[in-house]
Structure 1
Amino acid sequence: MSLTPRAGGAESGSGGGHGTGRKRPRRRVLRWSATVLAVVILGTAGAGYLYYEHLNGNLRSGERDSGDSKARKADPNAAGQTPLNILLIGSDSRNSDANVALGGSRDNRGNPPLGDVQMLIHLSADRQSASVVSIPRDTRVPIPNCTDPKTGQRFPATNKIINESLARGGPGCTLATWQNLTGVYIDHWMMIDFAGVVRMADAIGGVEVCVNQNVWDRPLPAQKGGSGLKLTAGRHPVKGVQALQWLRTRHAWGSDPLRARAQHMYMNSMIRTLRGQNVFTDTGRLMDLAEAATKSLQVSEEIGTVKKLYDLGMQLKAVPPDRITMTTLPTVQDSQNSEHLLPAGDRAEKIWRMIRDDVSFDKKGPQSGAGRPAAPQKASADPAAPNAQIGVVVRNGTRSDGQSAVRGRAGTIAQALVDKGFARAAKDTAPPVAESATVVRYPTADLEGDAQQVAKALGIPLSAVKKSTDVSGVTVVVGADWRTGTTYPVQAPPAAGDLPDDADALSGADSGKCMDVYKPYRW
Structure 2
Amino acid sequence: MSHSSVREEQQPEAAEGAAEGSGGRHGRRRARPRRKHRVLRWSATTLSVLILGTAGAGYLYYQHLNANIDKGKRSTGGSNAAKAKPNAAGQTPLNILLIGSDSRNSDENVKLGGSRDNRGNPPLADVQMLIHLSADRKSAAVVSIPRDTRVDIPKCTDPKTGHVYPATNDIINTTLARGGAGCTLDTWQNLTGVYIDHWMTIDFAGVVSMADAVGGVEVCVNQNVWDRPTAMQKGGSGLKLTKGKHDVKGKQALQWLRTRHAWGSDQMRARAQHMYLNSMIRTLKQQNVFTDGGRLMDLAEAATKSLTVSEEIGTVKKLYDLGMQLKSVPTDRLTMTTMPNAEDPQDKNHLVPEPAGAAKMWQMLRDDVPFDDKGSGGRKKTEEKVSDDPAAPDDRIAVAVQNATASSTLGPANGRARTVTDLLLGKGFARATADATAGLSEERTVVRYPSADLEGDAQRVAKSLGIPLSSVKKSADVSGITLVVGTDWREGTTYPKKADPKAGDLPSNSDEINGADDSKCMDVYPTYQW
Scaled to the shorter chain, the TM-score interval is 0.7 to 0.9
Q: Which runs of 5+ in 2 are unaligned?
A: 1-12, 21-30, 386-394, 474-481
* 227-236 or 262-271, which deviates more: 227-236
Q: Does the C-alpha gap of structure 1 residues 387 and 344 become closer, same or farther in structure 2, counting only changes over 3 Å?
A: farther
Structure 1 residue aligned with 2:507? 500
Residue aligning to 1:158: 168
Distance 1:147 1:374 in 2: 39
- Picking from 366, 369, 381, the partner of 1:356 is 366
Shift of 1:31: 3.1
Contact 1:87 1:188 in 2 (8 A): yes
The Cα of 1:47 is off from its aligned counterpart by 1.4
Residue 67 in 1 paired to residue 89 in 2? no
SS of 1:89's equivalent?
strand
Please identify, of 223-232 and 103-112, the stretch whose mean Cα deviation from structure 2 is larger.
223-232
Native 8 Å contact 1:144 1:157 kept in 2: yes
Q: Which residue of 2 aligns with 1:42?
A: 51
Q: CA deviation at 1:355?
A: 1.0
Name the residue aligned to 1:146. 156
Conservation of the 8 A alpha-carbon contact between 2:210 and 2:302:
yes
Q: Which stretch shifts more, 304-313 or 37-46?
A: 37-46
Q: List per-residue Cα deviations over 1:148-204 (Å, max 9, x = no partner).
A: 111111111111111111100001111111111111111111110000000001111
Give the counterpart of 2:494 among 473, 487, 491: 487
2:523 aligns with 516
Taking structure 1 as the reference length, the TM-score comes to 0.81
Give the aligned partner of residue 4 of structure 1.
Answer: none
Q: Relative to structure 1, is the Cα distance of residues 393 and 179 closer, same or farther in structure 2, using a 3 angstrom cutoff?
A: closer
The change in CA–CA distance for 1:506 and 1:266 in structure 2 (over 3 A counts) is same
**Which amino acid is the alignment partner of residue 78 of structure 2?**
D
1:28/1:227 contact within 8 Å kept: no
What does residue 266 of structure 1 align with? Answer: 276
The percentage of aligned residue pairs carrying the same residue is: 66
Q: Separation in 2 of the partners of 1:441 and 1:370?
A: 20
**Aligned-pair CA distance for 1:494:** 1.1
Provide closer, same or farther for how the CA distance between residues 102 and 329 of structure 1 changes in structure 2, counting only shifts above 3 A.
same
Give the aligned length. 473
Contact 2:289-2:296 at 8 Å conserved across structures: yes
Give the C-alpha shift of residue 326 in structure 1. Answer: 0.6
Q: Check the 8 A contact 2:421/2:433 in 1, yes or no.
A: no
Match of 2:145 in 1: 135
Q: Which 5+ residue runs of structure 1 have no aligned equivalent?
A: 1-8, 377-384, 401-405, 428-434, 466-472
Which structure 2 residues correspond to residues 22-61 of structure 1 after superposition, within 5 A? 24=34, 26-34=36-44, 36-43=45-52, 44-61=54-71
- Decide whether the 8 Å contact of 2:71 with 2:314 is kept in 1: yes
In the alignment, what sits opposite 2:265?
255
- Whether 1:171 aligns to 2:181 is yes
Q: Could you report, residue by residue, the CA deviation over 1:444-502 in whole angstroms, capped at 9, with x for unpaired residues?
A: x9xxx9x999987654568799xxxxxxx9985766x877x521221111111110010
- Report what 1:313 is aligned to: 323
Given that 1:122 and 1:355 are in contact with CA atoms closer than 8 Å, whether structure 2 keeps it comes out as yes
Aligned-pair distance for 1:319? 0.4
Instruction: Please report how far the alpha carbon of residue 356 of structure 1 lies from its aligned counterpart in structure 2 after TM superposition.
Output: 1.0
In the alignment, what sits opposite 2:4? none
d(CA) in 2 for partners of 1:152, 1:63: 13
Under a length normalisation based on structure 2, what TM-score does the superposition of the two structures give? Answer: 0.80
Q: Is the 1:143–1:158 contact (alpha carbons within 8 Å) kept by the matching residues of 2? A: yes
Q: Which residue pairs with 2:390 in the alignment? A: none
Q: Is the 8 A contact 1:356 1:374 kept in 2?
A: no
Range moving further from structure 2, 341-350 or 418-427: 418-427
Equivalent position amino acid for 2:518 in 1: S
| Structure-1 separation of matches of 2:18 and 2:164 | 27
| Equivalent residues of 1:332, 1:344 under 8 A apart | yes
State which of 349, 353, 356 in structure 2 corresponds to 1:339.
349
2:227 aligned to which of 196, 217, 221: 217
Deviations 1:23-44 (A, max 9, x none): 547233233251x001022332
1:57, CA displacement in angstroms? 1.0
* Aligned-residue offset at 1:517: 1.1
Contact 2:33 2:148 in 1 (8 A): no
Moved over 3 A (4+): 9-16, 21-25, 370-376, 385-397, 406-427, 437-442, 451-465, 473-479
Q: Which amino acid aligns with 1:507?
A: N
Q: Paired residue for 1:379?
A: none
SS of the residue corresponding to residue 503 of structure 1 reads: coil
Distance 1:373 1:498, change over 3 A: farther
Check 1:375–1:156 CA distance in 2 against 1; reply closer, same or farther (3 A cut): farther
Structure 1 residue 298 and structure 2 residue 305: aligned?
no
The separation in 2 between residues aligned to 1:185 and 1:506, in whole angstroms, is 24
